[in-house]
Chain A
Amino acid sequence: MFEYAPAPESVRPQIKEHYGLFIGGEFVDAEHVFKSINPSTEEVLFTVAEASEADVARAVAAARKAQETVWGPMSGTERGKYLFRIARLLQEKAREFAVAESMDNGKPIKETRDFDVPTAAQHFFYHAGWADKLAYAGLGADPKPLGVVGQVIPWNFPLLMLAWKIAPALACGNTVVLKPAETTPLTALMFAELCQEADLPPGVVNILTGAGTTGSALVDSAVDKVAFTGSTAVGRAIAKAVAGSKKKVTLELGGKAANIVFDDAPIDQAVEGIVNGIFFNQGHVCCAGSRLLVQESVAEEVLARLKERVSLLRVGDPLDKNTDVGAINSAEQLERITALTEAGRGEGAEVWQPACDLPENGFWFRPTVFTGVQQSMRIAQEEIFGPVLSVLTFRTPDEAIAKANNTPYGLSAGVWTEKGSKILWAAERLRAGVVWANTFNQFDAASPFGGLKESGYGREGGRQGLEAYLDV
C-alpha cells in the first residue's frame, strides 16, 4: 500500500458563531439555543436557535402568507427562474457548501464535493424546469399546489435531503417549513442565506432548527402536507399523528437492503459495488447494501477480495481529499452501531475489521464485515446505519430472492450478474423501490427514489416525485 501525504482541503467556509431561525425571509432568535459540533473533532462549530411551538406557528403562518399572496399566484415560469437561480448559486458556492457539510456531518470531502452538493444543485435545476410544465406531468390537466408543506430531514445527507424536499415542493407552487436534523443544521442555514441572496420572496422557504419536539410540533401544525425522511419508528408516529386529518404525507424511511452477488457476477466490479454499497457515507444511508447475499460457490473468493479491498479504505479526517470513510455523525449513533455490532458477536456471527488507526478525538468506527450471519440475527434484521456489513450466503436464485425479501423494509436492492435475463428476473421479484443492477447507490434528480412496505411511501425525484406535492 502506498503511503499518502495528507491532502487537506484548504477552503474554509464562513461559519457564523450563531444562527437564528429563518422565518419570513429573516433570521430571528429563539429562547433556547443548542450547539452543533464537528463529529470528527468534537469541537463546537456554532450555536443555533431551537424552535418552539410558537416559532413553528409563526413559520407556518409566514409560509401560508407567502403561498397565498406570492408563490402560489406566481407563474410557473417565474417560479422556475427562482429555482434555476438557486441551482446556479449552489454551484457557485459548491466548494464552500461541501466543506461546511463535511465539517458539520463528518463525511469525507470527496463525497460532499463530488456527490452531495452537485446532486443537490441538480435537484434544483431539474425541478426548476418542471415549474411551468406541471400540466404535462401526466397527473391531470390542471394540477394545483397543496399549500404549505412541513418537511423534516435526517442528518446523513443534510443538504441533499433539503434539496430533495424543497426543490419539488417549490416547483409545484407550495411553500415550505423545513427542519434540518439536530446534529447537522449548518448547510440548511447556509441555504437560507442563499435564499436571501437569490431574492426568493420572504416566507417561501422557512428553516427551523431544533430536535424531535420541534419536528413533532411541525407535524402537528397547520400544514397541508408532511414530508419526512428518517427512521421507520418516527415515520410510524407521523402516520399516526396525521390519521383522521386532511394532511397528506410521504415517508422515506429505513432499509435493510440486500446486495445479491450471483456466481456469474463480474467479481471485481461486484466487490467495488459491495464496498460502495455499505461504506459510502460511513454506511449512514437508508438504502445501504447492508446485507450481502453471495452465492455459496463464489463466497470464498468474493469475501477474500472484499477483505483485501476494505483493508485499503482510508478512514480519518473528513477534510482530507484521500479519505474514504469519515467520522460517525454523533456519539449517539456511534453507541447504536457499537451496540448492534456487539449483538452480532453475541449471536455468534464472525466479525472482521481491517487494521487501521483511528483519530483520538471524534466519533469513529472501523469498517466491519460479519460473516456466518443467520437471517434471525439482529444484524441481519435491524438497520445499523453504520459501516457494518452482514454477509449471508445462498445456493439458488429462488433462495436469494426469498432471503432478500425477508425483511419488513423494501427500499433498495442490488443484483450482480452478467446475465441480463437473470437481472430482470430478480428485479421483478425484489420487493424494493429501487433496484441497482451491476451498480449500487446511484441517485439522480430524474430518477424516482423511495420505498415499499415499512420503508414508507411516496417517491422523490423524476416525474413520479411530483405526485407528492400536487393536488391533481
Chain B
Amino acid sequence: MSDRLRVKKTYKLYVGGKFPRSESGRSYPVASPDGTELANAALASRKDARDAVAAARNAQRPWAGQTAYLRGQILYRAAEMLEGRAGQFAEELADATGADPHEALGTVEQAIDRLVHYAGWTDKYTSVLGGANPVAGPYFNHTTPEPLGVVAVVAPQDDPLLGLIDAIAPAIATGNTVVVLASESKPLPALSLGEVLATSDLPGGVVNLLSGKTAEVAPHLASHADVNGLDLRGVADADLAASLEAAAAETLKVVRRPGKDGNALDLLRQWTEYKTVWHPAGMAAGAGGAY
C-alpha cells in the first residue's frame, strides 16, 4: 500500500457555470446506504436558489437563440465527456445507491445513450410538434413549439444520474434553462455531472445544480416569479407536492406532478409552449378584418 494521502473532492454547487459553495456557508454529510461517509455537500439556501434562477434567466434567451444544430452538438459533447468519465460515475453511483459496480456502469452507459438520444432531438421536435395549419381563409398560419423559459426541477431521489438526465436533457434540448435540486440523500453524481456539463461547451447558467434539503429549497423555487415551469418528479411527500403546486399556481407555472414519464416526445412537449403566427396571403394581404 502506498502511504500517499488521497486528494478528496469537495462537492460544490454548479451555478451560472461556476462552482460556488453555498453562500450560507453550510454543508451536510452525505453517506452511502450502508452508512459509509462519502463527502460533505453544500447545503443550498434560499439565496443560492435565487442566484441559480437569475443565472438560468440570463442564460435562457441566448441558449434558445442558438441554432438547434449547435444545441444538439453540445448535448452530444456532454455525452462524450460522460463516456470519458464513465468509470468515475459508475463508482459514485455505486457508492450513492449501493448498487453493484457492474450494474452501476450499465446505468451510466444508459445515461450517456440518453444524452445522445436527446442530442438528436434538438433539430427535429419542432417539425414533429409544429407545422402549417390549413385555416379557412387567405392566411399563412404556422405553429412552432417554443421553450417555456426557466424550469425548476426537483430531481428523482433514488435515481440520481439516469433520472436526472431524463429531467434535464429534454428541457434543455428544447431551449429551456434549468435549476435542479439534486437528490437530497444522493446528490454527488449530480454535482459531478456539473463538471461534465462545464466542459461540454454548455453555456454557464443553462443547467444549474443545487444540493440541499428539498423541503427547505423547493418552496422558494415553486414560488419564484421568474420560474416558468416546475418539475415535481422527485417530491415523494404528497402533501409537499400539493403545497408546491399551489405555490406555483400563484404565477400560473406549468407543473409536472410526481409520477411516471411518458415517451420522449411527451418529455419534449412538457416544457414547450406553442406559438402561432398568422399573416395574410394573396390579394387580401394587409386586410385588417371585419371593419
In this assembly, does B134 line the interface, its C-beta being within 8 Å of a C-beta of chain A?
yes
Interface centre among A240, A445, A459 (most CB of B within 10 A): A240
Pick the contact of B139: A272, A432, A439 (CB < 8 A). Answer: A439
Pick the contact of B276: A138, A272, A434, A438 (CB < 8 A). Answer: A434
Binds B, one of A46-54, A192-200, A370-378, A449-457: A449-457
Q: C-beta contact mask, A434-447 vs B, less than 8 Å → 1, else 0?
A: 11111111101111
Given contacts A244-B241, A434-B278, contact A464 B129 (CB under 8 A): yes
Q: C-beta contact mask, B109-147 vs A, less than 8 Å → 1, else 0?
A: 000000000000000000011010111110101010000
Q: Contact between B129 and A138 (Cβ–Cβ < 8 Å)?
A: yes
Given contacts A442-B278, A448-B143, A457-B254, contact A280 B290 (CB under 8 A): yes
In this assembly, does A359 line the interface, its C-beta being within 8 Å of a C-beta of chain B?
no
Given contacts A423-B279, A435-B276, A452-B273, contact A444 B291 (CB under 8 A): no
* Complex interface: chain A residues within 8 A of B275 (CB): 427, 432-435
* Complex interface: chain A residues within 8 A of B245 (CB): 239, 243-244
* Complex interface: chain B residues within 8 A of A423 (CB): 279
Bound-complex Cα distance A111 to B290 (A):
8
In this assembly, does B10 line the interface, its C-beta being within 8 Å of a C-beta of chain A?
no
Select from chain A the residue with minimum beta-carbon distance to B143. Answer: A448
* Complex interface: chain A residues within 8 A of B19 (CB): none
* Complex interface: chain B residues within 8 A of A75 (CB): none
In this assembly, does A72 line the interface, its C-beta being within 8 Å of a C-beta of chain B?
no
* Distance of A171 from chain B, by nearest CB (Å): 17
In this assembly, does A276 line the interface, its C-beta being within 8 Å of a C-beta of chain B?
yes
A-B contact count (CB 8 A): 157
Given contacts A244-B238, A271-B288, A454-B251, contact A439 B129 (CB under 8 A): no
The range of chain B's interface size is 35 or more
Q: Which of B210-251 contact A (CB under 8 A)?
A: 228, 238-239, 241-243, 245-246, 248-251
* Distance of A118 from chain B, by nearest CB (Å): 9
Q: Contact between B269 and A467 (Cβ–Cβ < 8 Å)?
A: yes
In this assembly, does A232 line the interface, its C-beta being within 8 Å of a C-beta of chain B?
yes
Interface centre among B136, B239, B250 (most CB of A within 10 A): B136
In this assembly, does A76 line the interface, its C-beta being within 8 Å of a C-beta of chain B?
no
Q: Contact between B286 and A266 (Cβ–Cβ < 8 Å)?
A: yes
* Complex interface: chain A residues within 8 A of B252 (CB): 232, 235-236, 239, 251, 253, 453-454, 456-457
Given contacts A243-B242, A464-B129, A472-B262, contact A276 B291 (CB under 8 A): yes
In this assembly, does A214 line the interface, its C-beta being within 8 Å of a C-beta of chain B?
no
Bound-complex Cα distance A139 to B136 (A):
24
Pick the contact of A447: B135, B241, B291 (CB < 8 A). Answer: B135
In this assembly, does B289 line the interface, its C-beta being within 8 Å of a C-beta of chain A?
yes
Pick the contact of B274: A251, A266, A450, A453 (CB < 8 A). Answer: A450
In this assembly, does A114 line the interface, its C-beta being within 8 Å of a C-beta of chain B?
yes
Bound-complex Cα distance A309 to B289 (A):
14
Pick the contact of B278: A408, A435, A472 (CB < 8 A). Answer: A435
A–B complex contacts, Cβ < 8 Å, 19 sampled: A140-B265, A236-B249, A240-B250, A266-B286, A269-B288, A272-B288, A273-B289, A276-B288, A276-B289, A280-B291, A427-B275, A433-B275, A434-B278, A439-B278, A439-B287, A439-B289, A448-B133, A454-B252, A456-B252
The 9 closest A-B pairs by CB, nearest first: A244-B242, A272-B288, A276-B289, A239-B249, A243-B245, A269-B286, A273-B288, A444-B135, A243-B246
